[in-house]
Structure 1
Amino acid sequence: MTDHTVTFTLAGPMQAWSSAARAAARPTAEAPTKSGVLGLVANALGRTRGDDITDLAALRFAVRIDRPGTHEIDYHTAGSGPFPLLPGEVLRDPTLARTVSRLGWQAATRNYAPPRNIEAKGGTLVAKRPEHGVITRSHYLADAAFTVALTGDQDTVATVADALDRPARPLFLGRKAFPPAAPLDPRRHDIGDQLDALAAHPAHRPAEGDTTVYLEDPAGEIVADQPVDYASRRRTGRGQRRHLIPSPTAAGPQTATPADVDFFTAPATATTFTEFAARPANDPDFFTPPQD
């Protein structure tokens, strides 16, 4: 049976992909991971964490880095600070109510903290020690764009393509706070060669220079990125190799685009905006009025 391939774009203001365990530092890989992408696909199909993913795990995975983006880090603190209380919460605590009546509403605060550092006092959870805060650093990619290829049997590929085109639930790029910037634009290809399929899918605002593609290869570097079960977050190893596509050595014919046109300073020869915008950028008199 001939393999088929679906390609689609993952682009957004922020995205994060990691196969590492979640801790105080939340890292991101330089490109989407197979476990992360198949999780996105399972979400588009409307599956839950406990559903079987054998059919998805059997798909071959490849990803092209169209635009690597910028590696950013967010610094977070959780707990140890005060938060204001609602009037009802103050009235239910006679001691706090007397304090507020004496000092004003600025005194209506409680300290909060991570679960392991809180205790109950008068029915309210407060920090055992205000300095017991948790510091985390979340890594993510800003303004990155990738094209993904999933290859397998025709029925599975068709099901995945349809789900990505009409997802059962909102999709996100690695973390729930990171939605895609646009629809994923899934495209089906009746071929099993992932490089050919990726070449047929235009890059989303590509960066200059060589292009990196990561392909599954049993003889390649082992990465712990083959999902087995999302409920237990269990993954196994898979082979992966890096393929480099050189940048073109010579530029093709240049055509004028809206970005090439100065829409704010029209030359004297342009009688209408449409006429001005339609003039080619290589016109020697593009910005120079004719001489009498």
Structure 2
Amino acid sequence: MPTSFSTDLPLRGRILIVDDMMENVLVLNNILKEQHEVLFALKGDKAIELAQTRAPDLILLDAVMPEMDGYTVCTKLKHDPLTADIPIIFITALTDVQDETRALDIGAVDFISKPVNPSIVQARVRTHLTLKRQTDLLRRLTLSDGLTGIGNRRCFDEQYQREWRRCQRNQRSLSLMLIDVDHFKLYNDHYGHQAGDEALQRFGDLLSQTIQRSSDLAARYGGEEFAVLLSETDTEHAMVVAAKIHQALAEIAIPHHTSPTAPMITASIGLASLVPDGGLAPDSLLERADQALYRAKHSGRNRTEIG
């Protein structure tokens, strides 16, 4: 999930072709490569791995493959929250109505028979990419905080679960920062709620500009509290991001003359990192970050504590 939200629709799609015959992959690649980024897999397990790690916009899937057929691949993808929303078009030599019905019943959006017609493939791909982009846009709007434009609490909750599972699967570290704008009630009381809203907007922009990777997320967690989720990031690298946030706040220097901590707006950060495994509940990282934030707020504020 991006750190901020745009209504611009991308011009290119990322297409994953899944077929055990390389000659079929090459045919589809030649049809699509000028307009789209093309990935391919010759086996079902590799297709699932690429879908989980590269997040294609659309999958073109052969039905008949050894070891794991297309129906099994489709079922697995549709039952995984990481990949469930990726549209799948079956491209197969099977022509029986029952085969097409089976594909649609398990979640495919379309069914194209081999040998393929290039114009048909391009048209169907274009149609389903357009539908997905429109769906993604509507979804982004529902996951955007109305004041700051970054992710809202629902957005955070959903991405947190996805990244927990991703890091658990890859055995990589997941880092979380819970951030509280220091003495914000005093700021609102002194400067007014409109100025408070403007300050939160500037802080949201600051977070968006500080984190760069598309896999990372900045979200408004509630009120003057924010969250930053850093996928596949350990404590050392997360601390670098936290330091950048403190530095960026110091540079924009929003006046806060009623703060007992500093004459400008500051923030307290609770940071926690861990490698998810089956013995840990997903909430454990949140609890560690929350405890670290508590320590930061009760140890003078304007600092980062590690949980």
TM-score range with shorter-chain normalisation? under 0.3
TM-score (norm 1): 0.25
Higher relative contact order at CA 8 Å, sep ≥6: structure 1 or structure 2? 1
TM-score (norm 2): 0.24
Rg comparison, structure with higher value: 1
Which of the two has greater strand per residue?
1
